[in-house]
Amino acid sequence: MSVNFTEVADRVHVLRHPVLDVNVTLIVGDRAALVVDTLSTAGQAAELAAAARTITPHPWMIVNTHHHFDHCFGNATLAGTPACPMYAHETTVALLRDHAAEVRRRAYDEMRGTEPVLAAELAQAQILAPSHAVHLESTVDLGGRLVVLRHLGRGHTEGDLVVHVPDADLLVAGDLIEESGPPAFEDSYPLEWAGTVAELLRLTTARSRVVPGHGAVVGVDFVQRQHEQLSALAWMIRDGHADHSPTQRVAARAPFGPETALVAVNRGYAELTGEALT
């Protein structure tokens, strides 16, 4: 399978991989590059590395936007030997370092019904945890270009990391923003997600570009609309819980469709009841 990067801003390139329509972003400075997310398998990561080498000869560092397999299971292949510096939020680092078997099992369970070949590869994947844990903010110097890694709050997962390229007016949002499908709520914090996206919007200008976790690069208007939907969903969850409404009834009229929303409503109700979200 041939995959290629497309330049979407000055020395910022996006590879939109056909498997799961997931994005990888390559940010190039004067002396180094930054690869944001590493795809699902060793084979995909090898293709990614070859595509990146057509763009830049510079050594690279890696960022994982979160712990889901399609964004980090290529780490071991892309990191090289010795491994290059790799960054992620501290909870993502802990999950990939201390709970790799559980992360791998959940990836297999998620894909075995629809993508059995991919699921078999995920079951054997070597998981390499990032070496650098980000708490709230870290800055990476690519040589003449500073990139800021920010944890703006919980949303799609507990450890979402946003990559901000100020001189290109571009943000890589990971799965905090989805373009080619609805947001995924299985590991989410639906009562907080809208607030996290509001923080992302505070970093934008009218001309900002935002790279979602999946799908086409979007503008600020798209992010604002998704924020409005996430905010409406959070209020519906809170109101439904206060009124003791069945989760299915709330999900039936919620944004993103009843099947997707039901996962969010169940997690929101659990949090409001005081249950720990896992």
- pLDDT tens readout for residues 14-57: 999 999 999 999 999 999 999 999 999 999 999 999 999 999 99
> Would you state the structure tokens that stand for residue 111, as one six-digit string?
């894909």
- Tally the C-alpha atoms within 13 A of residue 27's C-alpha that lie toward its C-beta: 28
Exposed, middle or buried: residue 74 (CB in 10 Å: 0-12, 13-18, 19+)? buried
Is pLDDT above 70 for 1?
A: no
Is pLDDT above 70 for 211?
A: yes
| Residue 50, domain member (yes or no) | yes
| Residue 78, domain member (yes or no) | yes
Q: What CATH number has the domain bearing residue 140?
A: 3.60.15.10
DSSP structure string for 15-63:
EEETTTTEEEEEEE-SS-EEEE---SSHHHHHHHHHHHHTT--S-EEEE
| Residue 278, domain member (yes or no) | no
Full domain range(s) for residue 225 = 5-273
Report the number of distinct structural domains present in the chain. Answer: 1
Amino acid 277: pLDDT: 80
pLDDT band at 247 (very low <50, low <70, confident <90, very high): very high
| Residue 118, domain member (yes or no) | yes
- The predicted model scores a pTM of 0.96
Is pLDDT above 90 for 115?
A: yes
Amino acid 271: pLDDT: 94
Question: What's the mean per-residue pLDDT of the chain?
Answer: 97
Exposed, middle or buried: residue 243 (CB in 10 Å: 0-12, 13-18, 19+)? exposed
